[in-house]
Chains A and B, each alone.
Chain A
Amino acid sequence: MNRSNTYIFIYATVMVTVVAAILSFAAITLKPYQDKNVEIEKKKNILASVKVECTADDAEEKYEKFIRESFVVNLNGEKVKSVDAFEVNMKDEMKKDASQRNYPVYVFVHSDGSKKYILPVRGKGLWGPIWGFVSMESDFNTIYGAIFSHKGETPGLGAEIDTPEFQAQFDGKQIFNANHEFTSVSVVKGGADPDNINAVDAISGGTITSNGLDAMLKDCLKNYLNYFKKHK
């Protein structure tokens, strides 16, 4: 059907305006629900790193109950007052210089009385950011648990980092080697030696994500070294 240019212009303008209105309306009305989901997801992830199972419904309650303390430290390992650890957005922190960043620490008290220290990590995968939480025993060497998540890694390949099978490999691994040097936990392509306390297996077909995860752990955990030293 041939129409005049005026008709086409008006048609396009009206259509774009209507579509924009529908989308903005949807975005604004759905925003509170989405933010809530993100917050619950963060609490769930923090709890999952210390192996506390929870659902979307009881995540907040359990978070209040088990996470006794949370604070922010700086690169020198000193506590920074006046910053709420939960409100710290790792995405914004990573843009700052390492010495300017806030480093959140969440303290979880296990039912047997031992304390676990939960540290957020964030890095780059293949398609976008990857992040997670690593919980340390109070020797600040042994990993108690780890959880990773991602924005858009390839399902079945890089996205496997968020599966329990992959994450379980980190349990009991150590971030210092036998000579007390910081080595982090390496993600080894082709499989790590099961006796190697500083390494885990990478994901077949997910090499770039695995390398990103390896770099993320090194880069994020090393910033806590001063804090570890002070509290060991």
Chain B
Amino acid sequence: MSEREPLFSPKNIKSLTQPINLNNPITVQVLGICSALAVTVKLEPAVVMSISVLAVLAFANVIISLLRNSIPSRIRIIVQLTIIAMLVILVDQILKAFAYDVSKQLSVFVGLIITNCIIMGRLEAFALGNKPWPAFLDGVGNAAGYGMILIIVAFFREFLGSGTIWGYPVIEKLGLYELGYENNGLMILPPMALVVVGIIIWVQRARNKELIEQN
């Protein structure tokens, strides 16, 4: 390229914002569903998980993008996995040393980031063919899109399932229990996460006609 592209060119902005709505990893690409079910019972783990995924995805995208011209295509998946696993272990170790409480809360989920399909999907689809800066933006955008859905789902599951928001007993303070209101125990079980994600997909497609498949 003869001319330097500005840092926030329209193309770069697009790779940052597209995944938040029109190309959302969960609701449109339907990736990372597994962890969306597991960590959305409460709001707090969902938020910490989103931040961890953001860190791992952004760095993995940059590293793979820096190495993209040297990675042999026949073992590229292995290379990607190694990089992801390394970053995840680093995040886990650092949390254990300096943020022990957070690490205790996340427990197994930090390890689960390795199996998050979004990360490998983005490395394979974007980082391998783009420069580090757009790859970084793409990573941040996708992680934000993922985190946004996680937080929305977690909000409804915690509110309807446990009657709290971020651990604060909203329903109890409003006095709804005395009126005969009861928490919906079904909301804290994994299947309801799928139903909530389904509703979000429905709403999103109803508002964005271009997402509806023609067949």
Residues of chain A whose beta carbon lies under 8 Å from any beta carbon of chain B: 1-3, 7-8, 11-12, 15-16, 19, 22-23, 26-27, 30, 33-34, 37, 41, 56, 127, 149-157, 159, 204-205
Contact B86 A37 (CB under 8 A): no
Contact B72 A41 (CB under 8 A): no
CA distance A91 to B20 in the complex (A): 45
Question: Which residues of B sit under 8 angstroms from A7, Cβ to Cβ?
Answer: 72
Question: Which residues of A sit under 8 angstroms from B89, Cβ to Cβ?
Answer: 23, 26
In the complex where A22-B86, A156-B42 touch, is A30 in contact with B107 (Cβ < 8 A)? no
CA distance A158 to B79 in the complex (A): 36
CA distance A24 to B106 in the complex (A): 23
What are 30 of the A-B contact pairs (CB < 8 Å)?
A1-B71, A2-B73, A3-B73, A8-B72, A12-B79, A15-B79, A16-B82, A19-B82, A19-B86, A30-B94, A33-B97, A34-B93, A34-B96, A34-B100, A41-B104, A154-B38, A154-B41, A155-B39, A155-B42, A155-B107, A156-B41, A156-B42, A156-B158, A156-B161, A156-B162, A157-B188, A159-B107, A204-B185, A205-B188, A205-B189
Contact A26 B93 (CB under 8 A): yes
Q: Which of A12, A27, A156, A159 has the most CB atoms of chain B within a 10 A radius of its CB?
A: A156
Contact A157 B41 (CB under 8 A): yes
Q: Which of A16, A19, A153 has the most CB atoms of chain B within a 10 A radius of its CB?
A: A19
Q: Which of A2, A155, A204 has the most CB atoms of chain B within a 10 A radius of its CB?
A: A155
| Contacting residue for A37 out of B39, B96, B105, CB 8 A | B96
Q: Is B78 an interface residue (CB 8 A)?
A: yes
CA distance A27 to B92 in the complex (A): 10
Contact B97 A151 (CB under 8 A): no
Contact B78 A12 (CB under 8 A): yes
Question: Which residues of A sit under 8 angstroms from B41, Cβ to Cβ?
Answer: 154-157
Question: Which residues of B sit under 8 angstroms from A12, Cβ to Cβ?
Answer: 75, 78-79
Q: Which 8 A-B pairs have the closest CB atoms?
A: A156-B41, A33-B97, A152-B108, A30-B97, A37-B100, A152-B107, A3-B72, A8-B72
| Contacting residue for B93 out of A16, A19, A30, CB 8 A | A30
CA distance A7 to B70 in the complex (A): 10
Min Cβ gap B168→A in Å is 13
Question: Which residues of A sit under 8 angstroms from B86, Cβ to Cβ?
Answer: 19, 22-23
Question: Which residues of B sit under 8 angstroms from A149, Cβ to Cβ?
Answer: 104
Interface bits B85-124 vs A (CB < 8 Å: 1, else 0): 0100110011011101000110111000000000000000
Question: Which residues of B sit under 8 angstroms from A23, Cβ to Cβ?
Answer: 86, 89-90
Contact A11 B70 (CB under 8 A): yes
Q: Is B74 an interface residue (CB 8 A)?
A: yes
CA distance A79 to B46 in the complex (A): 47
Min Cβ gap A14→B in Å is 10
Question: Which residues of A sit under 8 angstroms from B108, Cβ to Cβ?
Answer: 127, 152
Since A1-B69, A3-B73, A155-B45 are in contact, a sample of 10 more A-B pairs with Cβ atoms closer than 8 Å, ordered by chain A residue number, is A2-B74, A8-B75, A34-B96, A37-B97, A41-B100, A149-B104, A155-B107, A156-B41, A156-B162, A159-B107
Min Cβ gap A50→B in Å is 21
CA distance A153 to B38 in the complex (A): 11
Q: Which residue of B lies closest to A4 (CB)?
A: B72
